[in-house]
Structure formats: C-alpha cells, structure tokens
Structure 1
C-alpha cells in the first residue's frame, strides 16, 4: 500500500495543476465560470471529503479536500465576474434543486446516503455549465476537465478503503467530466 500516498500526491498535484491555471483564467476573464456550478461543486466536494474521511477513505480522500477548497475559491472569483453571468431560468431551477437537497445529507446518519445525495447534487451542478458550454463552447477548457477526469481516476486508485461511499463521488464526477469534454469538443467549430 506504499503506492497509495504517491497516487494521492499525484492526484493533489493534478488538482492544483488544473485549478490554478483555471483560477488565473477566470481572474483574467478568459474563462467565464458559471457561479452556480462552482458554488454547488465547492459545497458538495468539501462535504464528500468529510464523508470519505469518516468512511476511512484515508489518504485517497485528501485530493477531494484540496479540490473542495480551491473550488470554493473559483466560486468566489466567478461571483466577482457577475457582469459576465448568463443565468437562465433553468439555471435557477438546477441551483435551487441542488441547494434544497443539501440539507438532506445532514439529516442522515448513513455516510453512503449522504454521499449519494451529495453526488446527485454535484452532478446537478454540471447542468448550468453544460448549458453554457453548449451555447459557448469556447468559454470552457476541455483540458481542465481532462485533468479532473484523470485526477478522479487517481483518487479512486489512492483510496485506502473501497466502498460505494468512497468510490461513488469520484466515479460520477469522472463520468461528468467525460461528458463535458465530449460536449465542448463536439460543439467547437
């Protein structure tokens, strides 16, 4: 199991490698992050990190914790760019649905139920970004989502305990990243 810390360190490095340039691009206005998606992702990612720790995910959970912290930073920057926001009524629906589901995880005593709810909420968070990428495919970076796809694969490999509670979130986010990459590449001229 000596390789798990190395894999976790690689996943953390990928998280930082993906998010720091993304943060820079958002700050410079080259990427228009959808604030609703990033708020949802920040809350859910950090909450899943705590659930993974409780379920003995160990060192494999740490990349999720780093990601949650940096994701909240993207959400703050996206909010500061609100002049660039294109919020559709459907975005409000997904945002409110996601936020209304968050208290449910708190009321459950079961870590898996919490992660299941948080994963569903996190995937709902992709909807505003999917809509934006469909309409403006150049406003998102497929390379960013490719790094997160790889990061989530490494997270799964680095987990110290495998269960639905520890694996579901990174597997679902990897699948959503794959879909986002496909959408962006398909819609670009």
Structure 2
C-alpha cells in the first residue's frame, strides 16, 4: 500500500484518538464518567510498551497513534485518580499491573518484541476486566462514543501499519474486539436497566 495512504490512515487514527479523549476527559472533569483507575494505568503502560515494540518491528507510521494514545491514557489514569474515579482495587488488579510492569525485563531477556506484545495484549485484555465489571453494574458511567472511537481508531492503526506481523497487528486488533464487546455490554445493560429505572 502507498505510504501516502498509510500516512492518511495514521492521521485518521490520531484524529480519532483526540476525538475520543477530549470529550471523555471533559466527562471525567464533569463527574459524569468515573473510569476505573487501575484499568487505565494498565492500559497506559501496555500501550506505551507496545508502541516501542511496534517501532522495533518496523510498524512505521502505524505505530504513531499508539504512542500518542499511551501517553494520553496514562494521563487519564492520573486524572481518574485525582477526580476519585472508580478506585476499587482488587488483588487481581494488582496482579495485572505487576505483570504489565514485568514485561519490560521479559522483553530485555528474550530480545524479541513478539512475546512482549503477546504478553501485554493478554494483560491489556485482562485490564478490561474491572471496566467490563463496572460497565455491567453501572453502564451509564461509561461513554459509548469513546469506546466506539477507539474501536475505529484501532482499525485505522492496522491499516496504517507499514509491516504486518503478529507483533504489529495483535494489539490493535485485540483492542478493537474488546471495545466492541464493551459497547455490546453497555448497550445491553442500559436497555435492561431502563425499565427498572422507569419503575
């Protein structure tokens, strides 16, 4: 695929990242969205590390949105903590965070970004656990537009990659699938809870 087209897809992914995060951050500041702090810390750490792995695997311009997203995601985690979002932290949450942090020396020892990406994708998907649990219990505290934007962003990231391999594709593809699942949970639970709220 032409490099100009790759740059366009990367640009679209970056625009979608901003379109997702700006209203999401505003909703956190307004108190209408209360993200799970540990989910966001885990996602931030894993995304930043995967960005470096994609760069090493020659993902090129397709990796740029991951780097930006990783930095902003860590910022959301900090903001969620400051604004006292959902800070219910379990032993499982600590385990996910520990595994995410342990992936760096794992990468150094193996000298292969593939296994780091596989491990981090697994951890990142586990990081969806607390948010999915919260979305099931309190679906109105999650932004559907945000996760829809991130699902589309992940698709554009894949299209923008200069090299296709498990190392470069696995993480954004998994995020797209996870966001789709979260959207289904939120939509279903909002519909189920609506009659109860009316009654």
Shorter-chain TM range is over 0.9
2:84 maps to which residue?
82
Contact kept in structure 1, 2:47 and 2:70, CA below 8 Å:
yes
Q: How many residues align?
A: 189
1:146 to 125, 145, 148: 148
Give 1 or 2 for the bigger CA radius of gyration. Answer: 2
Contact kept in structure 1, 2:34 and 2:85, CA below 8 Å:
no
Distance 2:54 2:37 in 1: 25
Name stretches of at least 5 consecutive residues in structure 2 with no aligned partner. 194-199
Cα deviations by residue, 1:118-166 (Å, 9 ceiling, x for unpaired): 1111111111111111111111011111100000000000001101100
1:11 maps to which residue?
13
Q: Which moved more, 1:32-41 or 1:106-115?
A: 106-115
Contact kept in structure 2, 1:94 and 1:127, CA below 8 Å:
no
Distance 1:95 1:132 in 2: 18
Q: Which moved more, 1:141-150 or 1:91-100?
A: 91-100
| Root mean square deviation, CA, Å | 1.7
Q: Which moved more, 1:98-107 or 1:111-120?
A: 98-107
Q: For the structure 1 residues 74 and 172, does the alpha-carbon distance in structure 2 shift closer, same or farther, using more than 3 Å as the test?
A: same
Displacement after TM superposition at 1:98 (Å):
4.5
Displacement after TM superposition at 1:89 (Å):
5.1
Name stretches of at least 5 consecutive residues in structure 1 with no aligned partner. none
Q: 2:163 aligned with 1:164, yes or no?
A: no
Distance 2:15 2:85 in 1: 32
Q: TM-score, normalised by structure 2?
A: 0.88
1:32 maps to which residue?
34
Q: TM-score, normalised by structure 1?
A: 0.93
Q: Which runs of 4+ in 1 moved over 3 A?
A: 86-103
